[in-house]
């Protein structure tokens, strides 16, 4: 470089070049130089591919929601079945207990004990057969 006198026009040109270079650097720095981001933005996922894949993604989202709802419904049904089977076991044991108590209370000795409290006594005579004669109608 030689020594020479600078003119104001040359200084303005150099300032404009610096501003242009700085503006280019700012634009380039918007997207980081990360390999993964470059790979995803330029090779696999770009705006066109994303817009083409949107209906399929929404379909998968819908299927996922249906799957989750189905699982919740199945779990609810399983809980209901378990609750009903527990109630059934309780009712079955109550039925068996009541049946055993009825069989015990309907025995001859238990009936005689309860009848004594009412003042009714057991007959000592054997049962007799009652026969009725039919009246003959003469018409």
User: What's the mean per-residue pLDDT of the chain?
Assistant: 82
Tell me the C-alpha distance between 108 and 111, whole Å.
Answer: 5
Mean pLDDT in each 10-residue stretch from start to end of the chain (139 residues)? 62 74 54 68 72 91 98 98 97 97 92 87 86 71
Beta carbons within 8 Å of 63's beta carbon, 6+ residues apart? none
**For residues 110 and 104, is the Cβ–Cβ distance under 8 A?**
yes
Cα 119-121-124 angle, rounded to 5 deg: 165
Q: What is the pLDDT of residue 27?
A: 45
Q: What is the pLDDT of residue 107?
A: 92
């Amino acid at each position: 470089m030689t020594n020479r006198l600078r003119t104001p026009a040359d200084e303005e040109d150099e300032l404009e070049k610096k501003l242009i270079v700085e503006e280019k650097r700012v634009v380039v720095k918007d997207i980081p130089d990360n390999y993964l981001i470059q790979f995803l933005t330029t090779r696999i996922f770009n705006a066109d591919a994303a817009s083409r894949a949107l209906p399929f993604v929404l379909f998968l989202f819908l299927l996922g929601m249906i799957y989750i709802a189905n699982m919740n419904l199945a779990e609810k049904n399983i809980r209901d079945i378990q609750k009903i089977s527990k109630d059934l076991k309780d009712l079955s044991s109550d039925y068996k207990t009541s049946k055993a108590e009825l069989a015990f209370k309907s025995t001859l000795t238990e009936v005689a004990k309860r009848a004594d409290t009412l003042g009714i006594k057991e007959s000592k005579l054997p049962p007799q057969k009652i026969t009725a004669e039919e009246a003959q109608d003469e018409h």
